[in-house]
Amino acid sequence: MEYIYTINESNKSFDVVVSGKVDSAAFTRLGIKFRTLALELGYTILFDYRNAKVDISIGEVYFWFRDHLDKVSVRFRSIPTAHLTNENNAQLFRFADLTWTNAGAVVKSFDNPADAKNWLGRFNQNSTVQIKPLDTFQYEQLEAI
């Protein structure tokens, strides 16, 4: 897996473009790294998986937050996160939308970048969702991810 990211300061968003094969471990590392930064800065996240092959089972997706992200911070669920999908991974992300939203996460998948950015933009203008910075944050720990 490879990725590049940009920091969109005007929209208060991390835009992360992912390519190659994405397994469970890589998906976890990426999620933790950018959700940690988003919590610290009060940003949203746009993960672009259109050029990636996501190799994660439906069963693992179902328990994703509980088994992977909640161990770091249950507050990760409150970060508005959009996923751009391709025809090969769209069904997986639609299932993730349903199960993660039911578990209290603020997520949604899209096939159109403009729609994803518009949805994320709602959280930066008069939003009822409050993203609070972390009380303590160790940049050194993040670099190890």
Strand partners, 55: 23
Total count of domains within the chain: 1
The pLDDT of residue 137: 42
pLDDT digits (tens, 9 = 90+) for 66-92: 999 988 999 999 999 999 999 999 999
Q: How many CB atoms lie within 10 A of CB 4?
A: 10
Domain span at residue 81 reads 2-143
Q: For residues 68 and 121, give the distance between their C-alpha atoms in angstroms, rounded to a whole number.
A: 27
Per DSSP, 82 falls in state E
> What is the phi/psi pair of residue 74, to 5°?
-70, -20
- The percentage of residues in the chain with a pLDDT greater than 90, rounded to a whole number, is 79
Contact (Cβ atoms closer than 8 angstroms) between residue 82 and residue 49: no
pTM of the model: 0.84
CATH number of the CATH domain containing 17: 3.30.750.24
pLDDT tens digits, one per residue of 29-69: 999 999 999 999 999 999 999 999 999 999 999 999 999 99
